Structure 1
């Protein structure tokens, strides 16, 4: 989740769209104690708790310019509802409505209410995570074992991006970096702490899921934990089967590349030193294993 957009016109426009969406879907804003607003990056999305035809729920509104409405981010939640097995714990998508207004396209998505709360209000942890049970980690491992078997033509990470970005953002490693993953598999694609709920596991925000380097989800969660060393160590221990191999190490370099690039836009700057240090550790391990770039 992100903070309210700096531009007050964007915030006002999205709040108006949310009110319109409530009317379309027969929902009403929930009382304040049920929770507040959840903003997406630069005000692209706005979610709020509601009451509706299926009981307590969550209504999320997505915005796009009309000429850019469509593609993987626009259809991700609906594709997940159709294709991802229900054994993967996530809020059910109940209703969808799209409309346009003055050059703006909107999509309203009505979800079931998620029990519990997100592990963190932000994607990255800079302090220790709340206590997570053995059952929570077991369920997460089960999800990460299930997702690779989901068949889809969706793409979360593109090979062309790896070829272009990895040599640039990992140049500080001082040696050739491989850009071709040992394997690809289906991933959630945005598995960070603000998209994970507890105390019972729930996984939110399925707009970007699709094919990615094997181990990508585990690597991303670890990267977002590097500002909290105890939690990062816990992730490495609990998800060692996904991280402690050639594919997992490559996936770590992929997500570090992505986060270093996003830091150029001012995102997650506090993670940069730890990410660069971790990249060096992973690279040295890969070199010791005889894995080199071309």
Structure 2
């Protein structure tokens, strides 16, 4: 995924310094003119590299030192150990961690994937057509992932109990906050985390258990600004999205994105999210 660099010059300088330190720690050098792929609010910085293991992708993650070590810190390594290879993703080759002052850093070296991401931003802005084989591969990957045993949690029941009544209060009647079922999810399945023409699923920080259908619901929600692609998502993932669990998962995702919009993330998507919530309740 590639967001715009942070407006905070100190954050940008700190992340670039950490990336330079990671080059030395992992014995790699930048490729392709030093391409920068920024993550959400400057928390990550990635780019192509070369080294003794060949072409790769270096991703540097920053966290306050007193918060490092939780779910988001161990996700990529847990995925490398526990998620079957039939779920296509870049292999994690090496990890280095260190602390500087009040910040902790992780440098993750991945293999380079074929092709590129299908969108430069999580919210889709133009139609994508990854092909029939790609959709079949996605269905297979989500199905295999859904049954992976894990103690990791992507969405908590306590959050649903607290947030769904607040952010879905505009609906004509209260919604249940108890999912029909739970399964294992990637947890951040949007177009900037998916590659083509060959399917690859990127950014495994937040994977874990979630309401069944969560990944399909999230991909659909991030497609709403492009009705053509949203309709394709609904058609290709209809077995999940047209079920009671899928409709509930959509309401969960809408809750999360409405809350995120309050904080300044993708506010233009709010009208479509609210319309879709009403449709899910129809």
TM-based fold match above 0.5: yes
How high is the TM-score relative to the length of structure 1?
0.94
Match of 1:152 in 2: 150
- 2:13 is aligned to 12
Deviation digits for residues 15-51 of structure 1, max 9, x if unmatched? 010010010001101132xx72111111111001100
Instruction: Specify every segment of 5 or more residues in structure 2 that has no aligned partner in the other structure, as ranges.
Output: none
Q: Distance in 2 between matches of 1:132 and 1:230?
A: 13
1:1-28 deviation line (CA, Å, top 9, x unaligned): 3210110110011001001001000110
CA distance in 1: counterparts of 2:97 and 2:88, whole angstroms: 26
1:216 match:
214
Partner Cα separation in structure 1 for residue 200 and residue 71 of structure 2: 22
* 2:74 paired residue number: 75
How do 1:229-248 and structure 2 match up within 5 A?
A: 229-248=227-246
Work out the CA distance in 2 between the residues paired with 1:115 and 1:31: 15
Quick one: which of 168, 176, 184 aligns to 1:186? 184
The list of structure 1 runs, each at least 4 consecutive aligned residues, that deviate by more than 6 angstroms after superposition, is none
1:92 aligns with 91
Structure 1 counterpart of 2:109: 110
CA distance in structure 1 between the aligned counterparts of 2:98 and 2:51, rounded to whole angstroms:
20
Determine the C-alpha separation between the residues in 2 that align with 1:132 and 1:43: 29
Aligned partner of 1:65 in structure 2 is: 64
Alignment partners' CA distance in 1, 2:126 and 2:136: 23
- What pairs with 1:195-210 in structure 2 (closer than 5 Å)? 195-210=193-208
- Tell me the equivalent position of 2:272: 274
Gaps of 5+ in 1: 285-294
Shift of the alpha carbon at 1:87? 1.1
> Which residue in 1 is equivalent to 2:25?
24
Q: How far apart are residue 126 of structure 1 and its match?
A: 2.4
Question: What secondary structure does 1:253 align onto?
Answer: helix
Secondary structure of the 2:60 match is strand
| 1:257 and 2:255 correspond | yes
Which residue of structure 2 lines up, in the alignment, with residue 288 of structure 1?
Answer: none
Separation of aligned partners in 2, 1:54 and 1:206: 22
Shift of 1:59: 0.3
Shift of 1:52: 1.4
Post-superposition offset of 1:132:
1.1
User: Helix, strand or coil for the counterpart of 1:185?
Assistant: strand
RMSD over aligned CA atoms reads 0.8
Shift of 1:176: 1.1
DSSP 3-state at the match of 2:204: coil
Looking at structure 2, the residues matched to 56 and 283 of structure 1 have their Cα atoms a distance apart, in angstroms, of 48
**Which secondary structure state, in structure 2, belongs to the residue aligned with residue 177 of structure 1?**
coil
